[in-house]
Amino acid sequence: MDHFPTNWGRPRNEAVDLYNTYPLHLRPDNGTYGRPKDSFEEGVQRTRQPIVTGTSVLAIKFKDGVIVAADNLASYGSLARFKDIQRLHAVGTHTVIGAGGDMSDFQHIQHDLDSLIISEFSEGDGHALGPAEIYEYLSQVMYARRSKMNPLWNSILVGGWKDGKSFLGYVDLIGTTYSASTLATGYGAYIAQPLLRKAVEGRENELTEEEAVKIVEESLKVLFYRDARSLNKYQIAIVNEKGVSISDSRIAPTEWSFAEGIRGYGAQTQ
């Protein structure tokens, strides 16, 4: 712990907008205030940052498949701008990807991967790309873009099932990769990951699809309550022997009456 009061700083730095509270043109450090307007500002490239953003993605392995889940919200700063956005995307017949971060970048990635699948199909060699290949391709693209200092601003989970084996991997805007039996991006890494690990670790080969869906839905619900940039409308993708199936949007019932009893926040005066 740093015990020097002078080093503590202020609890919230106005120059950094970590949780995208403001949309781009209203951000404090874009010459609106706090910094003199530069005459050459128009000629200078603007700092890259996510604009329309998606929040957490969750995924776990179970006995005979993988499950990936994400809500349908794309936020513009704190504004819930698009409430029917697809953040899960099937790639070929064995793989699904789910993305948080900038949604336009994600849609670019979707186009990229779709083209890849088409060109691979056109080879007509009977070979289909599996999740491991998609993941490798995607992580190389992400790392290459970060190395050009022009990142694709996403955290992506890749789930898949091929030749009787499950696959689950993470890749982000700086090309960091890792695998585990439970994965979560964004706020999910803080809020949902502990719940997922407790429910899944050591039971990957016992969990049924029904149990897996229940675990993920429960974790999504916790996220709806605590992540202000989330929505209780979500989709779940299952990848197993039969291939990829992405569900229709589901709406989780929520209960807010307890909020009446909470004091200390909000508008109440007493």
Partner 1 sequence: MSPTVGPVSRDFNPYSDNGGTILAIAGEDFAVVAGDTRQSEGYNIQTRYAPKVFRLTDKAVLAVNGFAADGNMFVKKVKQRLEWYRHAHGKDMQLRAIARMIQTMLYAKRFFPYYVYNILGGIEEDGSGAVYSFDPVGSYEREACRAAGAAQSLVQPFLDNQIYFKNQTPAIDAPFPRHLPLSHVLSIVTDSFTSATERHIEVGDGLEIYIILAKGKTLSGLGLDGVKGLSEVTSTVDDSDGSASEGESLAEGERIFVLRRELKKD
Partner 2 sequence: MSIMSYNGGSIVAMVGKDCVAIASDLRLGNQALTIATNFEKVFPVTDRLYVGLPGLATDVVTLRERFRFRVNMYTIKEEREIEPETFAHLVSSTLYERRFGPYFVEPVIAGLEKGTNKPFIATTDLIGCLTLPKDFAVAGTASDKLFGVAEGLWEPDLEPEDLFETISQTLMNAVDRDAFSGWGAIVHLITPDQVITRTLKARMD
Catalytic residues: 47
Task: Check residue 1 for interaction with partner 2 (CB under 8 A).
Answer: yes
Q: Which of 32, 179, 205, 208 binds partner 1 (CB under 8 A)?
A: 179
Contacts of 168 (CB under 8 A, 6+ apart): 59, 60, 61, 66, 157, 158, 159, 160, 179, 180, 181, 183
7/47 with CB nearer partner 2: 7
Please give the span between the terminal C-alpha atoms of the chain, in angstroms, as a whole number.
Answer: 36
Torsion angle in degrees (nearest 10) through CA of 158, 160, 166, 170: 0
Q: Which of residues 36-55 bind partner 1 (CB under 8 A)?
A: 43, 45, 47-48
Residue 76 CB neighbours (<10 A) = 16
- Interatomic CA distance for residues 8 and 2, integer angstroms: 8
Q: Among 23, 28, 31, 175, which residue interacts with partner 1 (rule: CB under 8 A)?
A: 175
Under the binding rule (CB under 8 A), the answer on residue 104 touching partner 1 is no
Question: Radius of gyration of the chain from Cα atoms?
Answer: 21
Looking only at residues 3 through 22 of this chain, which bind partner 2 when binding is defined by CB under 8 A? 3-5
Half-sphere exposure of 102 (CA within 13 A, CB side): 15
Which one of 62, 106, 135, 143 is in contact with partner 1 (CB under 8 A)?
143
Per the document, the length of the chain is 270
Q: Which long-range contacts (CB under 8 A, 24 or more apart) does 195-201 make?
A: 195/219, 195/222, 196/58, 196/60, 199/60, 200/60, 200/61, 200/62
Q: Which is nearer to partner 1, 52 or 85 (CB)?
A: 52
Name the binder of 45 from partner 1, partner 2, none, CB < 5-8 A by kind: partner 1
Report in angstroms how near the CB of residue 14 gets to partner 2 at its nearest.
24
The verdict on 6 binding partner 1 (CB under 8 A) reads no
Q: From the CB of 1, what's the least distance to partner 1, in Å?
A: 13
By CB under 8 A, name the binding residues for partner 2: 1, 3-5
By CB under 8 A, name the binding residues for partner 1: 43, 45, 47-48, 143, 146-151, 170, 174-180, 189-190
